[in-house]
Amino acid sequence: MPEFNNLLRSLCSVWRILISAGRSILSPPNFFWSRPPPPEQMFGRKAPQHDEGVPPWPEAGQDDIIPGMDSESSSRMDPDSGVKRGLKNRHLSMMALAGIIGPGLLVGSGGALHDGGPASLLIGFGVIGIIAFSIMQSLGEMTTLYPGGGAFISLADRMVDKAFAVAVGWNYFIIWAAVLANEYNVISSILVFWSDRVPLWGYFLILWFVFLGFQLLGVEAFGEAEFWLALIKLLGLVAYFLFGIIYASGGLVGQHETLGFRYWHDPGPFNGNGFRGCAQVFVFCSTFYAGVESVAVAATETRNPGVAVPQAIRQVFARIVFIYMGSAFFLGLTCPANASGLVNGGSRALQSPMTIAIQTAGWTGGVNLINAFIFITCLSAVNSSIYIGSRTVLYMAHSGMAPRFLRWTDKRGVPVFAVLLTNAFGALSMM
């Protein structure tokens, strides 16, 4: 208990420091920080409840035409943030369904399975899923009622306090900067596993410039890449679910008996760890759900957000049931929770429950297939991390919560300096 009390005091102190920093940042502006907009405005546009007859998501009109651009191109630019409305409904829908799913689910779930067993994995994903679904429903309603860039950052400003919004925004940016560094580490390690002729830092530099160049192509390229990568992830999970059904039914070539729910009996549904193991799984599961809120961040760059955002929010339920609950069920069905490789695997792919299940079924070369699948998920995770992080600081810069040079966008609507800043945090993977 003393250790817990000290940790709680430390967290409270850090939170007070962040709030104080937010208030100091938002005091008199200077050449580096922009003046925050009036409280009744959001990115220069009044909230819809202030003017009768104004639709929640106004279409671009003559007042939104940007000088120096033709009317068709300018009408697709958001006049307040400068980003381009290039994401289609299918892009946002697929982001809500399978976006941001990286190696955390495929590899990190092995540690959760080892700590709590298959029953704890189902309970953890189910309970956290209910919380995530409730939050997303609330976020969808509030985003539709109060449209504009910044998503929940601007909502924190409106509902609580501007200093609170600063703390929320920078905390959210730090989360995705850390995720980005981790994903760079994973994807570089996979390439080293396949060929060690190039050192780890060499692969990192190559990938760093590749992802930077891709992000500068514009939001259309990002949306199209996320659509197809998410589709591949969905097909990969469906293939594994089918493998799990056939494996449990005893239908694999050379399989002489059915697997059934053997691993639920030995080592048991909780792997002998009881409530303690179940509580540990909740920490893993809460991190796996990170990213479901990305549709709110991308709403400003959607061509028809009034239709796309509610549709994407509704699809979060399918993501929770199919991807998270489905993965928890089939991973616990096909992989023993006491397998030593879950925590002692020589590589990240060897620590994946998928790899252990495939190798136990008799295919020793399955590690390369899982490595390829993890590589694809890493491509999506890195791409999305840069996008979310850059848009977060862009919206904060427009609201006076970040240096104002971060709000500059080029003719494609790309926040170049925000992308550079976010991608620079990927270098933390080399520490």
- Of residues 406 and 17, the one with the higher pLDDT is 406
- The reported pLDDT for the residue numbered 145 is 78
- Higher-scoring residue by pLDDT: 409, 430: 409
In tens, the pLDDT along 44-59 reads 444 444 444 444 444 4
Closest CA to 289 of 90, 142, 104, 93: 104
Query: Is the CB of residue 149 less than 8 Å from the CB of residue 390?
Result: no
User: Cis peptide leading into 267, omega within 30 of 0?
Assistant: yes
In the chain, the domains with their CATH numbers are 85-430 (1.20.1740.10)
What lies within 8 Å, CB to CB, of 217 at 6+ separation is 412, 414
CB 86 within 8 A of CB 308: no
Cβ atoms within 10 Å, residue 207:
20
Over residues 234-258, mean pLDDT? 90
Return the higher-pLDDT residue of 109 and 78. Answer: 109
The model carries a pTM of 0.81
Q: Identify the DSSP state of 426.
A: G
